[in-house]
């Protein structure tokens, strides 16, 4: 996981916790863990978002999309993206 991914995940989780409570934040956290388990077994599950850079995306929740890249045997999580943000901030 990149530093940007770690930072964006933490920001989204903190926002959820502050806005909706710790129970909802833990549910979000569990969805991320479940997705990462699924991704480990099925790395091609996401849709190709930026073909020239091999960046794939997957909608984890209605508001959160994760972007990642497969590099050899590794899966690199690039960023957790709150889809309510400016779409120009998505990975390119």
Kindly state the helix (H) or strand (E) to which residue 75 belongs, with its residue range: strand 74-82
Split into its structural domains, the chain has a count of 1
pLDDT-derived band at 83, boundaries 50, 70, 90: confident
- Pair 42, 84: CB distance under 8 Å: no
Taking only the tens place, the pLDDT of each residue in 7-55 is 999 999 999 999 999 999 999 999 999 999 999 999 999 999 999 999 9
- The CATH number of residue 46's host domain is 3.30.2310.20
Query: Cα 71 to the chain's mean position, in Å?
Result: 17
Assess if residue 46 is contained within a domain.
Answer: yes
- 21 beta partners: none
Among the listed residues 8, 31, 19, the one whose alpha carbon sits nearest the alpha carbon of residue 85: 8
Assess if residue 92 is contained within a domain.
Answer: no
Assess if residue 90 is contained within a domain.
Answer: no
Range of the domain at 43: 3-85
């Amino acid at each position: 996981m990149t530093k940007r991914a770690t930072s964006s995940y933490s920001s989204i989780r903190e926002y959820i916790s502050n806005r909706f409570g710790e129970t909802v934040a833990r549910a979000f956290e569990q969805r991320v863990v479940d997705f990462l388990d699924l991704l480990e077994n099925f790395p091609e599950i996401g849709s190709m978002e930026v073909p020239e850079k091999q960046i794939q995306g997957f909608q984890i929740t209605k508001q959160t999309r994760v972007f990642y890249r497969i590099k050899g045997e590794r899966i690199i999580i690039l960023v957790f993206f709150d889809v309510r943000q400016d779409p120009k901030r998505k990975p390119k």
